[in-house]
Amino acid sequence: MFENLSDKLNKAIKTLKGQGRISDINVAATVKEVRRALMDADVNYKVAKDVTDRVREKAIDRKVMIAVEPGQLFVKIVQEELMELMGGQAQSINLKGSPAVVLIAGLQGSGKTTFSGKFASYLKKQGRQVLLVACDVYRPAAITQLQVLGEQIGVEVFAEPDNKNAVDIAKNALAYAKTKGKSVVIVDTAGRLAVDEVMMKEVEEIKKTVSPSEILFVVDSMTGQDAVNTAKTFNERLDFDGVVLTKLDGDSRGGAALSIKAVVNKPIKFISTGEKMDALDIFYPDRMASRILGMGDVISLVEKA
């Protein structure tokens, strides 16, 4: 649908040019086209507005109207703007403390448990002593799920199947990790909605109890407009350090990434690209910008070829 955004923009500009209108209007119409493309990619309505407002200024500044390929220049400006918003370099994870504690949180089904396993495996390969902690005491078979993954990757899982208190489990796990000389503890938590007060309190309590050096907010890349509300609330409650964007092996545009970054200004640290334990990648802002714009993950494709 957006593969030819640049064509569309060219056309929008040319049509208007032909009518001999003033350039501000031409730019405005084209900006509207960009805004629609962003919203179609699930970029939040307000964020898309802000982005395109800035794009409009830049477009006028850079005299887009008299460019040979106005559409292409437009797309370039948009892409620059998105990349700037998405943040520069890939950011690292803070693993201070002995053991360092990483807390994983997010909505139901976003991919927390799977990511916990992947991240544990990633750290293990770096030679760290990892302990996975099963703090989801609600979802049927959530503990078993983490145990199965732990077994697959050869990482120990701390669980107390009869204990219904996630905060207690987290506390006990930390004590256990210390006696076993673990270097990193990854705490997988139950999925929760931002509006679920009891559950949000629980995760705040877990945070207080284990003092994580890194809190990661896991979000499904297919999420729509609501991503900002959720991210905002989780950030207010947990002040998380980074975002994990999952299920990017699909064909969602992933506009949520941009919205979240714009609203809470926390870096995206990892992307999850499959169900298998090695489907974990670091995040590249430029690729995400292209993806949102629908120009295909050209760079990735080229690299894979």
Contact flags string 101-140 toward other proteins, x per CB under 8 A: ------xxxxx-x------------------------xxx
The verdict on 10 binding Mg ion (CB under 5 A) reads no
- Work out the number of other CB atoms within 10 angstroms of the CB of residue 207: 22
220 binds, among Mg ion, other proteins, ligand GTP, none (CB under 5 to 8 A by kind): other proteins
Query: In degrees, to the nearest 5, what angle opens at C-alpha 224 toward C-alphas 220 and 230?
Result: 70
Contact flags string 136-175 toward ligand GTP, x per CB under 6 A: x--x--x---------------------------------
Q: Which parts of 69-98 interact with other proteins (CB under 8 A)?
A: none
Q: What is the largest CA-CA distance in the chain?
A: 77
| Site size with ligand GTP, rule: CB under 6 A | 22
Paired sense of beta strands 156-158 and 184-189, if any: unpaired
| Site size with Mg ion, rule: CB under 5 A | 2
- With a CB cutoff of 8 Å and minimum separation 6, the contacts of 199 are 190, 192, 193
Phi, psi of 216 (to 5 degrees): -115, 130
- State in angstroms the smallest separation of the CB of 247 from other proteins: 6
The residue within the footprint of ligand GTP, chosen from 6, 235, 273, 290 (CB under 6 A), is 273
Evaluate whether 119 touches 270 at the Cβ level (below 8 Å): yes
Evaluate whether 10 touches 31 at the Cβ level (below 8 Å): no
- With a CB cutoff of 8 Å and minimum separation 6, the contacts of 241 are 94, 214, 215, 216, 266, 269
Sheet of 214-220: strand order equals 156-158, 130-135, 184-189, 100-106, 214-220, 242-246, 268-272, 280-282
- State in angstroms the smallest separation of the CB of 60 from other proteins: 21
> Of the two residues 247 and 261, which places its CB atom closer to ligand GTP in the complex?
247
Q: Which stretch binds other proteins (CB under 8 A): 65-73, 227-235, 286-294, 297-305?
A: 227-235
Q: Residue 210's Cα: distance from chain center in Å?
A: 24
272 binds, among Mg ion, ligand GTP, other proteins, none (CB under 5 to 8 A by kind): ligand GTP
Residue 27: closest CA among 83, 73, 93: 73
- State in angstroms the smallest separation of the CB of 105 from other proteins: 15
147 binds, among Mg ion, other proteins, ligand GTP, none (CB under 5 to 8 A by kind): other proteins
- State in angstroms the smallest separation of the CB of 27 from ligand GTP: 38
> Of the two residues 209 and 221, which places its CB atom closer to other proteins in the complex?
221
Evaluate whether 181 touches 128 at the Cβ level (below 8 Å): no
In terms of Cβ atoms closer than 10 Å to its own Cβ (0-12, 13-18, 19+), residue 184 is buried
Contact flags string 84-123 toward Mg ion, x per CB under 5 A: ----------------------------xx----------
- Work out the number of other CB atoms within 10 angstroms of the CB of residue 139: 13
The verdict on 281 binding other proteins (CB under 8 A) reads no
Binding site for ligand GTP (CB under 6 A): 106, 108-114, 136, 139, 142, 190-191, 193, 246-247, 249, 272-275, 279
Binding site for other proteins (CB under 8 A): 36, 39-42, 44-45, 107-111, 113, 138-142, 144-149, 152, 193-195, 220, 222-227, 229-230, 247, 249-253, 255-256, 275
